[in-house]
A and B are shown apart, each in its own frame.
Chain A
Amino acid sequence: MIPLDFEDLTAEDVSRHFGRRRALSRISFQTRKGSILGLLGPNGAGKSTMLAVLATLMRPSSGSVRYGTHTAVASGAALRSRIGILGHDLFLYPELTARENLAFFAGLYGAVHPQAAADAALQRSGLADRADDPVASFSRGMRQRVALERALIHNPRLVLLDEPFTGLDDASTAALIARLQGLRESGAIVVVATHDLDLAEGLLDTALFLRDGRVAEAVARPDALRSTYRTIMRRST
């Protein structure tokens, strides 16, 4: 598999419908490496669907997503090796230990030494002392940390996070924010979907407000997210 890389992510007129229901409607944006894009909006706005499309898990009904010059259809597996996703449902096997989960996915993503990669990830997340406990015994915050390491274990260029702040305490939230900023510094393209506006404040380089599958507003270098959000919500009705 020829390794693949890209420096920007472009969505052009992406639409996706399920039967009669429109989940996404002509969404367009572009984001470059070393930046964090936020997908903001109420439940049902289409954030998770958009992330699934960006992750190549779902094909758009119309429009296209370009990863640099590559497309999901043409590049398949090579592209997937550069994408990491932290889903709402964590993607971890509860019966396996943290180490086993990480080693498994490291191996699946083609790591030559999956055990070493897993150990390194455990160190980074500060969970080395719980490495051999089954994930089912972890708290939500700890599981989230393992899940994040799993998503990043193959050094993806594009990092997608779906509601990553759900159920986290202050310490974990701060750690996650620091991690995301670190990713930005190292040149990753980060896309975060969240409805938690206070946390998103100060973190995002660009904010895309989604409502009913449409882009209600795109704001660069956003601050005062909450008031912007309220204005948009009032306006769109």
Chain B
Amino acid sequence: MIRTAWLVLKKDLTVEVRSLEIAYTTLFFAVSCILFFAFALVKEGKAPEDGAAGILWIAIAFGGTLALGRTFERERQSETLRALLMAPAARPAIYVGKLLGIVALLAAAEVVLVPLVAFLFQAPLLSHPFWLAAVLLSGTIGFAAVGTLFSAMLVRARSRDVLLPVLLYPITVPVIIAGVRATAALLQPDVELALVRFWVALLIALDVVFVTLALWTFEPLMTD
């Protein structure tokens, strides 16, 4: 099982590294998002309170949706998702491989986005790097866990481009709330670590529940 997940992950990373199409376009889109929100919300050079945290997470969510769509569009070409399902490999392992690929992609984007947001909004995002990484990782996993499952389900559906956000956003509201609140807490002059720990704990619980549920439902959702 682990071997399958690793093979799928390696394959996805290889394909992506060849062209870097999804990486570049997602990153550019996320940066545009940030600028868009900056223009919309910044008044007299100051973002609204906790604006930096909010803008960062919105950019991650929107960029993530784009990346998910493109990744599974690739599997739709030449029907390779069908080929993956035809293999005797355990279906949940395929899900895990794809999930890790998406998380890796988003993590790479976040490495650029976080300093950018810190730079544009004078936000001390890098003051507690360990906690910030924990927040970003657990939040990204939660978002990607649901996103990967829904995108895979939608590969053969009609209106899949618009249905992904329709399905994904209401479900990932707790991820966004927790992510933004935790990031905002890390930006305060005196950081309340207990508060950050609470949100990270919530995110981790959410990750466990969502990934488990996804592993459980992947097979019935993918069979015709």
Contacts and interface: CB of A to CB of B under 8 A. Distances in A.
Interface of A: 1, 52, 55-59, 77-78, 80-81, 83, 85, 87, 89-96, 100, 104-105, 107-110, 134, 150
Given A95-B15, A100-B14, A104-B11, A89 B88 contact: no
Given A57-B224, A89-B79, A96 B87 contact: no
B111 interface: no
Contacts of A105: 83, 87
B78 interface: yes
A57 B82 contact: yes
B89 A87 contact: no
B224 A58 contact: yes
B224 A87 contact: no
Given A87-B79, A108-B4, A95 B19 contact: yes
Contacts of B78: 89-94
Nearest to B21: A95
Contacts, number: 71
Given A93-B11, A107-B3, A108-B4, A57 B80 contact: no
Contacts of A91: 78-80, 82-83
Interface residues of B, number: 25
A76 to B, nearest CB: 8
30 contacts: A1-B88, A55-B86, A57-B86, A77-B89, A80-B86, A80-B87, A81-B87, A81-B88, A83-B86, A89-B79, A91-B78, A92-B78, A93-B11, A93-B15, A93-B78, A93-B80, A94-B77, A95-B15, A95-B19, A96-B14, A104-B7, A104-B11, A105-B83, A108-B7, A108-B8, A108-B84, A108-B89, A109-B87, A109-B89, A150-B83
Q: In this complex, which of A94, A95, A108 has the most chain B Cβ atoms within 10 angstroms of its Cβ?
A: A108
B90 interface: yes
A155 to B, nearest CB: 13
B159 interface: no
A94 B78 CA distance: 8
Given A59-B224, A87-B79, A96-B11, A78 B85 contact: no
